[in-house]
Amino acid sequence: MTLTTAVLVACALAFATKAVGYVVPPRLVEGERTMRVSTLLPAALLAGLIVVQTVADGPALVLDARIGALVVAALLLWRGAGFITVVIAGAVTAALLRLIGLG
């Protein structure tokens, strides 16, 4: 699989997940458990992504500048900062920590 193929397959599947909500009889998907699992999925996946993006280096677990970025992002979100502010602060934190030789 080339990267372009992967991108296009993922795009097609994302469209399918959206379209299915318009074409299926709601009865089929409105089971309480199905709805609960689907509602919780983003929280689980995003938490998993945060772990991998923060402490994984291939198969190794490492503590480096990224953990600093995560902590700063959490503090800012807790203080009600907006998305762009949080993202830029994450980048600046990681860059500064590396500059002073941490991570």
Partner 1 sequence: MPPRAMSEGAPTGELSPERRRAVLRQSWSVGIATGLYGVSFGALSVAAGLNLWQTQALSALMFTGGSQFALVGIVGTGGLAAAPAAIATATMLSIRNGLYALSTRRFLLTGAAHTPVVRTAAAAHLTIDESSAVGLAQPEPQAARLGFWHTGVAVFLFWNLMTLVGALAGSVIGDPATWGLDGAAVAAFLALLWPRLKAADARLTAAVATVLALVMVPFVPAGVPVLIAAVAAVVIGIRGGTTGRLADPPDPRTDGDPIP
Chain residues 30-69 in contact with partner 1, contact rule CB under 8 A: 30, 32-33, 35-56, 58-61, 65-66, 68-69
In this complex, which beta carbon is closest to partner 1, that of residue 11 or of residue 101? 11
Question: Which three-class secondary structure string do you get for the chain?
Answer: CCHHHHHHHHHHHHHHHHHHHHHCCHHHHCCHHHHHHHHHHHHHHHHHHHHHHHHEECCEECCCHHHHHHHHHHHHHHCCCCHHHHHHHHHHHHHHHHHCCCC
With binding defined as CB under 8 A, does residue 75 bind partner 1?
Answer: no
In this complex, which beta carbon is closest to partner 1, that of residue 38 or of residue 101? 38
With binding defined as CB under 8 A, does residue 21 bind partner 1?
Answer: yes
